[in-house]
């Protein structure tokens, strides 16, 4: 039986998952209707949503799912068992792509101008992210994955995606959009987890161009 938002709120409150007040989006003078976001401070997909929300002036109440009660809350809400999940506009929304689409639909795109190939770019970045995440999880679970054909294929796929994005350049150092947000989140996460050698990705200039932007600087991955 599915739960309504009020029941889920009561369930999650009962689990006493701490809201991470210190992690709310960087303060903005104009705060639009907020969003409750279930996720971690390390996930590149959660960070993507946090950056977009900060760019649009949407306040984020981040509920940490890295704890045992947080995981229980997540599993009670989503059969996918992945973060992010958002409570937004009175609805429960799964998957960063859909949450971002809902944010754009509710609030417009703010400074994140669309580019024609954006969906293709983000699809490619997600494929690289998912490839390295799969290796990260296997290593963390103690599976001797490195050097196997599966691992080599994921690493080669990731290298091909970064090379495709880097030359001729498909990401911008002058216009900040969803593709730049997504690539920065993926690369910063790979570096943070030592999961992939990002210095060979050919995207240092893109990362450097946006590093000091408040939405980016205030959401760096941290355990
Ligand atoms: N397509 C999803 C991917 C989300 C995803 O892979 N999240 C990871 C954290 S970065 C996760 O929750 N993984 C848990 C698991 O695989 O068990 C999205 O864009 O939100």
**81 C-alpha to center of ligand 1: Å?**
8
What is the DSSP code (8-state) at residue 169? T
Which atom of ligand 1 is found nearest the CA of 94? 20
**134 C-alpha to center of ligand 1: Å?**
10
pTM of the model: 0.89
pLDDT at position 20: 52
Residue nearest to atom 6 of ligand 1 (CA): 82
pLDDT at position 209: 98
**130 C-alpha to center of ligand 1: Å?**
8
Which atom of ligand 1 is found nearest the CA of 39? 12
pLDDT at position 1: 34
Ligand 1 binding pocket mutation candidate from 45, 130, 221 (most atoms within 8 A of CB): 45
SS3 201: coil
pLDDT at position 29: 35
**CATH match of 5-107 with 3.40.30.10:** yes
Rounded to whole angstroms, the Cα distance separating 191 from 197 reads 7
State the helix-helix crossing angle for 96-107 and 44-56, rounded to 10 degrees: 10
Q: How far is CA 209 from CA 1, 28, 130, in A?
A: 48, 22, 25
Rounded to whole angstroms, the Cα distance separating 222 from 189 reads 9
Report yes or no: 127 and 161 within 8 Å, Cβ to Cβ.
Answer: yes
pLDDT at position 44: 98
pLDDT at position 117: 94
Give the pairing of strands 58-64 and 85-88: unpaired
Rounded to whole angstroms, the Cα distance separating 101 from 5 reads 20
**Computed from CA positions of residues 98, 221, 168, 163, in that sequence, does the dihedral angle turn out positive or negative?**
negative
**82 C-alpha to center of ligand 1: Å?**
4
Residue with tokens 């429960």: 92
**45 C-alpha to center of ligand 1: Å?**
7
What single string gives the DSSP state of each residue in 83-117? S-EEEETTEEEESHHHHHHHHHHHH--TT----TT
Question: 170: which residues sit within 8 A by CB, 6+ positions away?
Answer: 117, 121, 164, 179
CB of 101 closer than 6 angstroms to any ligand 1 atom: no
Q: Give me the residue spans of the domains in the chain.
A: 5-107, 118-213
Pick the closest to residue 69 from 57, 59, 77, 61 (CA basis).
Answer: 77
CATH tag, 118-213: 1.20.1050.10
pLDDT at position 33: 77
- State the 10-residue block means of pLDDT for the chain, 223 residues long: 49 55 40 85 98 98 96 96 95 98 96 94 98 98 98 98 97 98 98 97 98 98 95
* Region of residue 16 (phi > 0: left; psi between -120 and 50: alpha; otherwise: beta): left
């Amino acid at each position: 039986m599915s739960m309504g938002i009020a029941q889920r709120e009561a369930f999650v409150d009962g689990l006493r998952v701490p809201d991470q007040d210190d992690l709310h989006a960087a303060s903005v003078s104009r705060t639009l209707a907020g969003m409750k976001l279930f996720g971690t401070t390390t996930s590149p997909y959660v960070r993507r949503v946090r950056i977009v929300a900060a760019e649009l002036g949407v306040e984020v109440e981040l509920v940490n799912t890295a704890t045992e009660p947080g995981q229980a809350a997540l599993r009670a809400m989503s059969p996918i068992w992945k973060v992010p999940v958002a409570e937004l506009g009175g609805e429960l929304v799964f998957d960063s792509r859909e949450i971002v689409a809902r944010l754009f639909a509710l609030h417009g795109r703010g400074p994140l101008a669309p580019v024609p190939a954006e969906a293709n770019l983000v699809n490619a970045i997600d494929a690289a992210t998912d490839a390295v995440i799969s290796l990260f999880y296997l290593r963390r679970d103690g599976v001797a994955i490195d050097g196997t054909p599966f691992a080599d294929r994921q690493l080669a796929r990731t290298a091909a995606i970064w090379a495709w994005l880097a030359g001729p350049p498909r990401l911008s150092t002058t216009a900040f959009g969803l593709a730049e947000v997504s690539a920065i989140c993926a690369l910063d996460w790979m570096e943070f987890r030592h999961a992939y050698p990002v210095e060979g990705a050919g995207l240092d200039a893109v990362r450097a161009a946006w590093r000091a932007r408040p939405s980016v600087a205030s959401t760096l991955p941290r355990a």
